[in-house]
Amino acid sequence: MAINKHTELRYKIWHYTYLTICGLVFFFLIAPLFVIVPLSFNAEQYIHFSDDMLALKPEAFSLRWYEDMVYGTKNPWGLAFKNSLVIGIFATIGATSLGTLAALGLSSKYMPYKALIMSILISPMVVPLIISGSALFFFLAKIGLSSSMLGIIISHIILGTPFVVITVTATLSSFDHSLTRAASSLGSSPLYTFFKVILPLITPGVISGALFAFVTSFDEVVVVLFLAGPDQTTVPIQMWTGLREQLSPTILSVATCLIAGSIIILVLMEILRRRSERLRGIQPR
Amino acid sequence: MSKILTTEGLPLETSLKKVEQKNKFRAFLLVLPLLLFLIVAYVWPILNLLTRSVDNRLISDLLPQTAIALSNWEGNELPSEDIYKIFYLDLNEAHKQKLSGKVSTRLNYAKNGFKSLINKTRRKLKNFEDGNYKDQFIDLNKKWGDIEYWQAMKVAMPKYTIDKYLGSVDLEKNYSGEIIQKPEKRRIHRTLWYRTFYVALGVTICCLLLAYPIAHLLSTLPLRYSNLLLICVLLPFWTSLLVRTSSWMILLQQQGVLNDILVYFKIVGDKSRLELMYNMTGTFVAMTQILLPFMVLPLYSVMKTIPPSLMRAGSSLGGTPFHSFRKIYFPLTYPGIGAGSLLVFILAIGYYITPALVGGASGTLISNRIAYHMKETLDWSMASAMGTMLLVSVLVLYWLYNKILGIDNIKLG
């Protein structure tokens, strides 16, 4: 609704009310995240904005909780970060390769039972995590993989594949299939066509699917709660334990690092989106 | 008319069919690795979970003869001497194999008090003499003369049972097989189901009300501003769930930021700080904020495709802005509303982490109860039964989503 000097007063009032409401909702969405950041630099032990902090006195801020995160006694975070990274990377590799292959099959027009198969492939995303967790707990215990990294990696591959399948099929849906026909008419083998023609064009979609899979794994706590022994602790598990016991400032430093990580991922996704649009010749509006 | 032949001399029709078969096979082959992997490592375990919820073979395997004897027993008066004898033999056998602990745990699900009863009895089993088992049992503990324990045992015996499903909606079977309400103070699950449903519905409605205006704003602003504002939606979307929950814990706790602000502006006194966390309020507010992006994104992607000229046409034909909005714009956003609402509802109904951390006792949902049965009471059949019911409700919604919107239309980011 455009506002100009001829607009009636009541519509003007309505327009500004609408903008205010929108502003408040955006504030509601984003503000809670940024409460964490200043508090993680707190010099005191309490999770509380002290008067000194509000007066922006430099001595009220410190990096002690970051030091505690890295060098602290017992230091569970080092192991947790290492485990989360290992699990995340392997789960991403597994989910991305399986998911991309499946997406290639699914977007072929010859694919039989497409709807049924698609809904099976997406189901890990829809089924409540508590159910997936219980089912996988019994399954992995039966085949002797409970409390093992391999078990957690397998379950994270399962949870990550739907995201890869969805993003890659979405990319393939705008893929020009005459390109593959052109390649084969020029004598290229299907495998060569895949690596030289298809893959470069769908790479942005594959990478964004991989990012989704990685974030899903890195952030996943419910299933790991069922599967992990003390040696398989991950960052979310460590946070979960910390939050259940006591909200310590060290957790806030970890949380700030994770927020920084999600900003990086957000930027990566935006770059990928633009690249994908450019590759497919879509002009930005 | 002669058929068209290919260079190999085959009819064109057959040749084309052959190629199509080959293509079908090739496409299927690409999906096969993931499909097999999911069926073995995911679908099968879930089906297994479902059978676990009705599988009651444990107890009848432990006390095989008693199970048969009790199934023939009417249940109106105390069992006969024969049944006492059979029970003695079964229990003694189980005790020798060091399985009587399992018997006591399992029977305790059927009736409280069985655990101590069996545990007391099994230590005395070696003192039993041949003959007159009934009196010996009753002398040992007068509960063995209480018909209720035998009735409970009879009910617990069948190999397959829907008891756990009844239990998860606070019903039980009495000894004659009628389905009755559980005693009032043991009814806990039904409240949880209702609460889960209402919270999911409430969160969905709140998300819709909050998401609609901002999705509209995002879709009407020029791209450079809307991209900037979209970050406000996408950053929470990409941020760890635990980080967002902990930010709500900081905000809502009694010495937390929100209460500090209220005290600072003298809206509430320092002594009467509000309890915003460890109750329903905490769960509700935190879940709404956490699930909001899932509503905004589908709405935004639908609203982006609505040409602004439609609203202009509406006003040029004399409609007031509100009238044109209601008659033109709003109906066009139905697909977005449907997609977002179903997505948020599906996610909310199975929520676990946030209620567990900020919900306290009065703000926990059905998922928390399932986890409680999985980890604390170890009543895995109960957890499976409740899980199955939750799963079925989610799958119905999933099917609806598929039916209305098509699963391939899910968009991310």
What is the span of the domain harbouring residue A115? 75-279
CB contact under 8 A, B247 and A36: yes
Does some domain include residue A57? yes
Nearest to B248 among A32, A110, A258 (CB): A32
Query: Are the beta carbons of A259 and B43 separated by less than 8 Å?
Result: no
Q: Please tell me the predicted confidence (pLDDT) of residue A3.
A: 65
Kindly state whether residues A58 and A186 are assigned to the same domain: no
Residues A161 and A30 in one domain: no
Task: Give B206→chain A minimum CA distance, Å.
Answer: 11
Does the pLDDT value for residue B409 go beyond 70? no
Residues of B in contact with A243 (CB under 8 A): 242, 245-246, 249, 357
Phi-psi region of B170 (alpha: psi -120 to 50; beta: other; left: phi over 0): left
Query: Mapped to the 3 state alphabet, what secondary structure does chain B carry?
Result: CCCCECCCCCEHHHHHHHHHHHHHHHHHHHHHHHHHHHHHHHHHHHHHHHHHHHECHHHHHHCHHHHHHHHHCCCCCCCCHHHHHHHHHHHHHHHHCCCHHHHHHHHHHHCCCHHHHHHHHHHHHHHCCCCCHHHHHHHHCHHHHCHHHHHHHHHHCCCECCHHHHHCCCEEECCCCCEEECCHHHCCHHHHHHHHHHHHHHHHHHHHHHHHHHHHHHHHCCHHHHHHHHHHHHHHHHCCHHHHHHHHHHHHCCCCHHHHHHHHCCCCCCCCCCCCCCCHHHHHHHHHHHHHHHHHHHHHHHHCCCCCHHHHHHHHCCCCHHHHHHHHHHHHCHHHHHHHHHHHHHHHHCCCHHHHHHCCCCCCCHHHHHHHHHHHHCCHHHHHHHHHHHHHHHHHHHHHHHHHHCHHHCCCC
Nearest CA in chain B to A257: B243
The answer to whether B398 contacts A123, with C-beta atoms less than 8 Å apart, is yes
pLDDT in tens, B299-322: 998 898 888 888 888 888 888 888
Residues A89 and A41 placed together within one structural domain of the fold: no
Whether the per-residue pLDDT at B412 is higher than 60: the answer is no
- List chain A residues with CB under 8 Å of B30: 101-102, 104-105, 108
Using the predicted structure, report yes or no on whether residue B101 has a pLDDT greater than 60: yes
| Residues A168, A233 within the same domain | yes
pLDDT at residue B242 tops 60: yes
- Mean pLDDT over B173-202 rounds to 84
In a domain? residue A2: no
Residues B384-405 have pLDDT tens digits of 999 999 999 999 988 888 777 7
In this structure, are A118 and A16 located in the same domain?
A: no
Q: How many CB atoms lie within 10 A of CB B283?
A: 27
Assess if residue A223 is contained within a domain: yes
CB contact under 8 A, B240 and A218: yes
Same domain, A51 and A81: no
Q: Scanning the structure block, which residue is given the tokens 């980080």?
A: B243
State whether A131 and B27 contact (CB < 8 Å): no
Chain B residues touching residue A169 (CB < 8 angstroms): 408
Rounded to the nearest angstrom, the minimum Cα separation between B353 and chain A is 7
Size of interface A-B (CB pairs under 8 A): 262
Nearest-Cα residue of chain A relative to residue B348: A128
In chain B, residues with a C-beta closer than 8 Å to the C-beta of A2 are: none
Q: Based on the domain organization, do A36 and A164 belong to the same domain?
A: no
Residues of A in contact with B52 (CB under 8 A): 138
Residue A5 has pLDDT above 80, yes or no: no
User: Is A127 in Cβ contact with B394 (below 8 Å)?
Assistant: yes
Please tell me the distance from the alpha carbon of residue A152 to that of residue B40, in angstroms, as a whole number. 16
The residue out of A43, A64, A85 marking a domain boundary is A64
Inter-chain touch B391–A127, beta carbons under 8 Å: yes
- What CATH number is given to the structural domain containing A107? 1.10.3720.10
pLDDT confidence band for B271 (50 / 70 / 90): confident
Question: CB distance A129–B352 less than 8 Å?
Answer: yes
Flag if B370 and A130 touch (Cβ within 8 Å). Answer: yes
Per-residue pLDDT tens over the stretch A165-186: 998 988 888 788 888 889 989 9
User: B30 and A49 in contact by Cβ < 8 A?
Assistant: no
With CB atoms and an 8 Å threshold, state whether B387 touches A131: yes
Q: Give me the interface pTM, i.e. the ipTM.
A: 0.86
Residue B52 to residue A138, Cβ atoms within 8 A: yes
Query: Which option is the CATH number for B190-409: 3.40.50.300, 3.40.50.1980, 1.10.3720.10, 1.10.8.80?
Result: 1.10.3720.10
Same domain, A54 and A105: no
Residues A117 and A213 in one domain: yes
Instruction: Taking residues B169-196, report their average pLDDT.
Output: 81
A54 and A125, same domain (yes or no):
no
Separation of CA A246 from chain center? 26
Q: Is residue B408 scored above 70 in pLDDT?
A: no
pTM of the model: 0.85
Quote the pLDDT of residue A285: 39
Residues of B within 8 A of A117 (CB-CB) are 31, 35
Query: How confident is the model over B161-170, as pLDDT tens digits?
Result: 888 888 888 8
Report yes or no on A175 lying in a domain: yes
Residue-wise pLDDT tens digits, A185-231: 999 988 898 888 888 888 888 998 999 999 999 999 999 999 988 88
Smallest CA–CA distance, residue A251 to chain B, in Å, is: 9
Tell me which chain B residues have a C-beta less than 8 angstroms from the C-beta of A136.
41-42, 45
Nearest CB neighbour to A138, from listed B48, B234, B256: B48
pLDDT confidence of B201, banded at 50, 70, 90?
A: very high
Asked if residue A161 and residue A246 are part of one domain, the reply reads: yes
* C-beta atoms of B48 and A32 within 8 A: no
Q: Where are the domains of chain B?
A: 8-54, 57-159, 190-409
Domain count across chain A: 2
